[in-house]
Structure 1
């Protein structure tokens, strides 16, 4: 009888856009698929800012990985990959259990792989600014959104006390956002909506003192968008009384104030109640751990260098995608998603091709190189308005306003990972329209 070839083990690191897309599209009958991630869900990041003010519920944009792997005979480890042996193809996994866990000891194990896909994503980048790590809130994970929501609730309730000074009240009600990219702009827009739609009803005596400031080091916000959309966002923010400070640098973040350098070179100490840092991203630690194993080829300190077939330079049987890599493409969710679709399709087709004996080595002859094709860019800017830059023929078209907000919401519902998530988000929006937001936290 002919010997049946043993299936290869494909390990996916991360549950972000790239890895989750591969998991959704890979033919699990042809691989032993293993997923490793410290979080057990896929997070729909475009709606993360709306979770900070209760527009959307946290669980609505979290798609449990167990819902996917349980149906497809895929093994899942809720753990962090801390080391890799590229010569012997082994990964070191560590799971740190919280104090309330039934198992008090931490877990550590080693697993083998035949093929490895690194999709660990990125984390916040402080650019070495003093005090950011200690005093700022970030907006990359669901835990960050919950922390901001709790901080927002605490500052409002504290500002309601009668026996605090007026200057302290103004400080508590001053929300500072650092970073004029899509995340920072959308968070500022969600804050404005929370102020107009809800805070004025709950605590009208404080609503007029609530202040939002957005700080951006570049001359314009949303610099990756068309200049007309950047200007439209600026004018919208002015109408919504959001203090937009462009060409302004953050020099230091203190516990209750931030030191900024204005365009004229002068410095200013700006008191705040909550500061959200949305100024940039960098590759996660595992990307740098892998880089250290391949010093001759991995020469860029920002992340993993890959070729146009997503292969990690200097490695064998390792691909990488998403925010942990260094490419000509911007660190966008749709880039990682397209990379995941391309790689899963390539792996599926090559396992069906009898002439393929070495997937990693032959992928450049059996498949076309990955090429990113922009589907356009959308961003919510508050006041039920959004902006859009969409490809059209050899150029693009731009739009902004309430109708574009409907387009943005439709896109979110379409791109959510499951029907369950889409229905949950739609239900959240309907409930918010009827009853308003809630920032209740335990």
Structure 2
């Protein structure tokens, strides 16, 4: 008998649903997660609303600001929520720089997605999407490495052969693409292999360990002064908010804690921010950006604008060190103990893959392709966050967008950094992603997605500058110094996703202020 025709009591349905969940978990443990039963589950009690109607299955790709925010706002009584993400948690990225220096502990900035009481969660990457049959091909992620380079390490082996994890399929009624973006390296030699990114808790952990390790190496009696100078030169590439905030947090760590522990090493310490633009923090007006640079100058943090890094390689004369080749310095190379890379974003490989493939829907006789934004490479959506598609030529190339009438891909939505709203330019920020998530969830809950377009409300931009100072800019006001720092901490504290983290974040702030940061390595 088909499961859709079973008529069970409420108690029996609950027991049966629990049994199916445990059975699916058992199949996964036995390595049989690729079977339809384990990947989809049985559509029984979990797919019915309180009034007996079948809940639509909404699959969410990604657990970042867009995906997590959408999942927590979508009504579970109306929709069956399934999330697919390579990580089982959400990261509160504005406070990530603080975890990289020990001001906060890592668990204070993460939220486990399973606490959302999702109908299903699959830890893996969406490898491909069949829009015609509404099916997602998923690659399981069983790695315990949480750093940004994990995806590349898993899919490209040292011998050059491409390898993947276990694969399984997941069906959807509605699909929300919210997979975010990757760090942009601009093809600079050695960056992907040797630089440290700051986009996940794994990145922050590696940076924190590397900084403390360099101080320990420099403190050894066998280390030469020239090596100490390299080990304790901390290079940050990128003058946006992430790079500036990390430089400020690192300076706080050194000034407040490491100076007391390694007083004899302070003469070797230097922090340098490199950026290709004429000025850092381009999203702020000149007055606030100049204030930030004055603060850094007083704190002896070097800022090198209009400097182009062309190569990064290991230093053969200093174990654990690197050499930076700067275009403006000619053949001279700069030694550094760590390079933190924060220069921009590039599209997720899945987005590139989806935009290159043609597909044919049953409602359309011609082949279609996703509409691609010419500037960012993101998927184009309308103002209601519905994904656009355009006809594909016989050669497989998309028809030029100029004057081309687009159509909507049924039941597919896009939010966050991986998408661009047609004829609109919005920054790729957490603020935009979270507002899009809340808007789309609200409209789906009300069943009127097409009735009200998304409108971004700019709440302002903030950046921490160290030593209890910050800058803030919005359409209403501009703040700098201590008052901006108070606003910065208050805003980020109130935006934390759970009550647990609203308690733990100020607790760790107070702990670091009273007792200092933990500088042990483990």
Q: 1:304 — aligned with what?
A: 379
Q: 2:411 — aligned with what?
A: 317
How far apart, in 1, do the equivalents of 2:64 and 2:102 lie? Answer: 23
Cα deviation code 1:168-193 (max 9, x no counterpart): 11000000000000000000000110
* Structure 1 residue corresponding to 2:474, chosen from 380, 390, 393: 390
- Aligned residue pair count: 414
* Structure 2 residue corresponding to 1:63, chosen from 79, 90, 111: 111
Select between 167-176 and 106-115 the one with higher mean Cα deviation.
106-115
Q: 1:118 — aligned with what?
A: 177
Q: 1:150–1:439: 8 Å Cα contact kept in structure 2? A: no
**Post-superposition offset of 1:404:** 1.1
Cα deviation code 1:61-108 (max 9, x no counterpart): 011111112xxx5211112111111100001112132489xxxx9532
* Structure 1 residue corresponding to 2:453, chosen from 369, 377, 381: 369
Change in CA separation of 1:227 and 1:99 when aligned onto 2, cut-off 3 Å: closer
1:105-144 equivalences under 5 Å are 106-144=165-203
Cα deviation code 1:251-298 (max 9, x no counterpart): 111121111123xx7564111000000011112122222222357443
Change in CA separation of 1:99 and 1:19 when aligned onto 2, cut-off 3 Å: closer
* Structure 1 residue corresponding to 2:98, chosen from 25, 50, 53: 50
**Post-superposition offset of 1:345:** 0.6
* Structure 1 residue corresponding to 2:323, chosen from 254, 257, 260: 257
* Structure 1 residue corresponding to 2:339, chosen from 247, 254, 275: 275
Q: 2:247 — aligned with what?
A: 188
* Structure 2 residue corresponding to 1:342, chosen from 414, 439, 450: 439
Q: 1:17–1:333: 8 Å Cα contact kept in structure 2? A: yes
* Structure 2 residue corresponding to 1:401, chosen from 478, 481, 498: 481
How far apart, in 2, do the equivalents of 1:303 and 1:47 lie? Answer: 26
Select between 78-87 and 175-184 the one with higher mean Cα deviation.
78-87
**Post-superposition offset of 1:162:** 1.5
Cα deviation code 1:97-155 (max 9, x no counterpart): 2489xxxx953211110110011111111011111011111111111111101111111
How far apart, in 1, do the equivalents of 2:224 and 2:410 lie? Answer: 63
Select between 288-297 and 45-54 the one with higher mean Cα deviation.
288-297
Q: Unaligned regions of 5+ residues in structure 1, if any?
A: 354-362
How far apart, in 2, do the equivalents of 1:267 and 1:219 lie? Answer: 23
Q: 1:282–1:323: 8 Å Cα contact kept in structure 2? A: no
How far apart, in 2, do the equivalents of 1:419 and 1:427 lie? Answer: 13
Q: Secondary structure at the match of 2:474?
A: strand
Change in CA separation of 1:131 and 1:106 when aligned onto 2, cut-off 3 Å: closer
How far apart, in 2, do the equivalents of 1:224 and 1:205 lie? Answer: 39
TM-score by length of 2: 0.77
Q: 2:76 — aligned with what?
A: 28
Q: 1:283–1:325: 8 Å Cα contact kept in structure 2? A: no
Change in CA separation of 1:175 and 1:111 when aligned onto 2, cut-off 3 Å: same
How far apart, in 2, do the equivalents of 1:266 and 1:401 lie? Answer: 38
How far apart, in 1, do the equivalents of 2:267 and 2:379 lie? Answer: 48
TM-score by length of 1: 0.90
Q: Unaligned regions of 5+ residues in structure 2, if any?
A: 1-50, 146-163, 315-321, 359-367, 390-408
How far apart, in 2, do the equivalents of 1:171 and 1:106 lie? Answer: 39
Alpha-carbon RMSD across the aligned residues, in angstroms, is 1.8
